[in-house]
Amino acid sequence: MTAKTPQHADSPLKCPVTVEDVDLFSPGAQERWYEAYPILHRDAPVLRIPGEGLTPGTDGYILSKYEDIAMVVRDPVRFPPTLTLALKMFEDSDVPPEEMKHVNAMMVSMYSLRPTDELYRAHRQELTDPWVGPGASRHTEMITGHGNDLIAAWIDRPSCEVEFISEFARPLPQRVMASVLGFPQEDVEQLARWGTEQVKPYVIGRGHKNELTQEQLVEQFKGLDGFKEYVADAVKAKRKNPADDMISWLCDVEYKALGRKLTDIEINGIVYAMVLGGLETTQYALEEQAQLICETPGLFEELKADRSKIRGFCEEAMRLRSPTQGLSTRITSQDEVFQGVTVPKGSLLHLRWAAGNVDPDEWECPYELDIERKAVTRHLAFSQGPRVCPGAGISRIEQQTAWNLLLDRLEGIEYGEGNTFEHQPGIMMGTLKLNLKFQKAG
Ligand code: HEM
């Protein structure tokens, strides 16, 4: 089964031929990403970005080989996350983090709840796994309800047309995360606006470090006005009247690793991380999956006839079109050699998950969609190792539930009119819109 890359809108960047042409970060680079990866694998699997380290005089390096990225994320001692530098800054300061300017509740809670690798693991196992990790299967019914409501809004349309992103792929994870956390559905629009502010660095941030200018940073904090207070009010209300939701549970749970309950600001920080990570990302997986179905004759029918194949399809789609393409989140704590290239201590590593996921040394026919590929979950779309995405569990259930529902309610989908396949700016892989034509099931 082969999937062709959709015809992308024109990019201001020319199609890369040599490594000198490769540019993963300028505006429009999104349209050239998958043309750049084979060049990186062949000619520059470790590509230096001069002067683009975290501190003056250091460099950034793009890693595109699966084995290098997998090794880095599995070894937090040799390759500490950049966030640990921020936590070190808190440690060295006389001002408590909650009183520092431009420090959000998530950073504050990271400092008190998970400053070490051991506590990081405990935080995941004790505080997030039961809700968005392996325990997320408890949400299947709720996700089904939201999915059905969204489909009901367009399934009887005489035109049989749907803009799949705004009418399904985006609102589904937004509604799901509001339900998980225990926020009213009427607040989803407002939550989504705050979520959009949170992810701004990954959309309009400059270069591989996703940097906002000082003005953009100020704007971002302005846009986030009210979020902390909104969550604080919810925490207060749920302490008084608990319900069956994640915030109520966090208000009461004993964090065994520290032998105590959580404070309001710590809960606020966990909620910040859930909104940042959970509101948008799954949208990109769903939307690229829809595209792969449109491009692969017979795939819709195959999945409809045998639902056990949905899981492999979702995983393989995330491998082939990784939602988060890359992040610069690790540093070298000593001199390292990757693929024969020396990378000095103190360098910033850009882990290019998407490139590792199509590395020909790891994957047979890497650009082919093979929904029966062996051990496909070893892909890097959620990263791996101790800091693997804590929301992978709920994202997977959202994707699988969504496709089960769409396969129930539809006979097929194909590309509709007016698609340019232009991608949104930034580091996430997603088109700005996706018009589909559907056939309703009888
Ligand atoms: C298709 C969907 C998703 C993708 C592709 C994705 C991908 C990733 C990746 C690559 C990382 C970086 C891990 C590392 O540095 O090693 C990450 C971190 C993270 N993700 Fe996800 N994610 C997705 C969905 C979610 C969801 C649904 C949630 C929340 C419910 C979430 C919450 C987070 C958080 C909080 C972090 C940061 C971990 C930390 O605090 O250090 N993600 N994700």
124 CA to centre of ligand 1 in angstroms: 12
Distance CA 286, CA 397 (A): 12
Distance CA 28, CA 70 (A): 28
Do 72 and 349 touch, CB atoms closer than 8 A? yes
- Tell me if 379 is assigned to some domain: yes
pLDDT band for position 11 (cuts 50, 70, 90): confident
Distance CA 269, CA 273 (A): 6
By most ligand atoms within 8 Å of CB, the mutation choice from 128, 331, 382, 388 for ligand 1 is: 382
Q: Is 281 in the pocket of ligand 1 (CB under 6 A)?
A: yes
263 CA to centre of ligand 1 in angstroms: 24
- Tell me if 323 is assigned to some domain: yes
Percent above pLDDT 90 for the chain: 87
Q: 249 Cβ partners below 8 Å, 6+ apart?
A: 130, 131, 242
Q: Is 383 in the pocket of ligand 1 (CB under 6 A)?
A: yes
pLDDT digits (tens, 9 = 90+) for 158-192: 999 999 999 999 999 999 999 999 999 999 999 99
Nearest CA to ligand 1 atom 39: 387
72: domain CATH number is 1.10.630.10
Average predicted confidence (pLDDT) for the chain: 94
142 CA to centre of ligand 1 in angstroms: 21
* Helix, strand, or coil (residue 380): coil
- Per-residue pLDDT averaged across 32-45, rounded? 97
Question: Which of 311, 317, 309, 318 is CA-nearest to residue 293?
Answer: 317
| 86-100, 267-281, 340-354: segment of lowest average pLDDT | 86-100
- Per-residue pLDDT averaged across 193-201, rounded? 93
Q: Is 381 in the pocket of ligand 1 (CB under 6 A)?
A: yes
The pLDDT score that the predictor gives to residue 313 is: 98
Q: 279 Cβ partners below 8 Å, 6+ apart?
A: 173, 174, 177, 191, 192, 195, 199
- Tell me if 13 is assigned to some domain: no
Nearest CA to ligand 1 atom 11: 389
**In the Cβ-directed half-sphere of 248, how many Cα atoms lie within 13 Å?**
12
- Tell me if 14 is assigned to some domain: no
Question: What is the number of the ligand 1 atom nearest to the C-alpha of 281?
Answer: 2
pLDDT above 60 for 45:
yes
Distance CA 273, CA 18 (A): 39
Q: 208 Cβ partners below 8 Å, 6+ apart?
A: 24, 25, 49, 52, 60, 62, 326, 328, 350
DSSP run (H or E) holding 260:
strand 260-261
- Per-residue pLDDT averaged across 297-321, rounded? 98
123 CA to centre of ligand 1 in angstroms: 14
Distance CA 403, CA 99 (A): 45
Q: Is 395 in the pocket of ligand 1 (CB under 6 A)?
A: yes
pLDDT above 50 for 2:
no
Kindly report the length of the chain. 442
pLDDT above 80 for 8:
no
**In the Cβ-directed half-sphere of 56, how many Cα atoms lie within 13 Å?**
0
Distance CA 102, CA 95 (A): 13
pLDDT above 80 for 111:
yes
Nearest CA to ligand 1 atom 19: 389
The pLDDT score that the predictor gives to residue 3 is: 43
- Tell me if 8 is assigned to some domain: no
Query: How far from chain centre, in Å, is Cα 419?
Result: 24
Distance CA 360, CA 37 (A): 10
The pLDDT score that the predictor gives to residue 244 is: 96
Nearest CA to ligand 1 atom 3: 281
Residues spanned by the domain of 363:
19-440
- Assigned token pair, 82: 């950049």
The pLDDT score that the predictor gives to residue 4 is: 44
The pLDDT score that the predictor gives to residue 7 is: 59
pLDDT above 70 for 6:
no
- Tell me if 117 is assigned to some domain: yes
Q: 286 Cβ partners below 8 Å, 6+ apart?
A: 164, 168, 169, 172, 398, 399, 402
pLDDT above 70 for 327:
yes
pLDDT above 60 for 79:
yes
- Per-residue pLDDT averaged across 22-34, rounded? 94
- Per-residue pLDDT averaged across 210-231, rounded? 93
Question: What is the number of the ligand 1 atom nearest to the C-alpha of 380?
Answer: 10
- Tell me if 40 is assigned to some domain: yes
Would you call 332 exposed, middle or buried from its count of C-beta atoms within 10 A (0-12, 13-18, 19+)?
buried
**Total domains present in the chain:** 1
Question: Which of 425, 435, 434 is CA-nearest to residue 33?
Answer: 425
435 CA to centre of ligand 1 in angstroms: 27
Question: What is the number of the ligand 1 atom nearest to the C-alpha of 81?
Answer: 15
pLDDT above 90 for 435:
yes
- Tell me if 413 is assigned to some domain: yes
Do 142 and 179 touch, CB atoms closer than 8 A? yes
pLDDT band for position 334 (cuts 50, 70, 90): very high
pLDDT band for position 288 (cuts 50, 70, 90): very high
Question: Which of 131, 183, 175 is CA-nearest to residue 151?
Answer: 175
- Per-residue pLDDT averaged across 42-52, rounded? 97
User: How would DSSP label each residue in 57-71?
Assistant: T--EEEE--HHHHHH
Distance CA 89, CA 104 (A): 14
Q: Is 430 in the pocket of ligand 1 (CB under 6 A)?
A: no
Distance CA 160, CA 150 (A): 15
- Per-residue pLDDT averaged across 272-298, rounded? 95
Distance CA 25, CA 16 (A): 13
The pLDDT score that the predictor gives to residue 87 is: 83
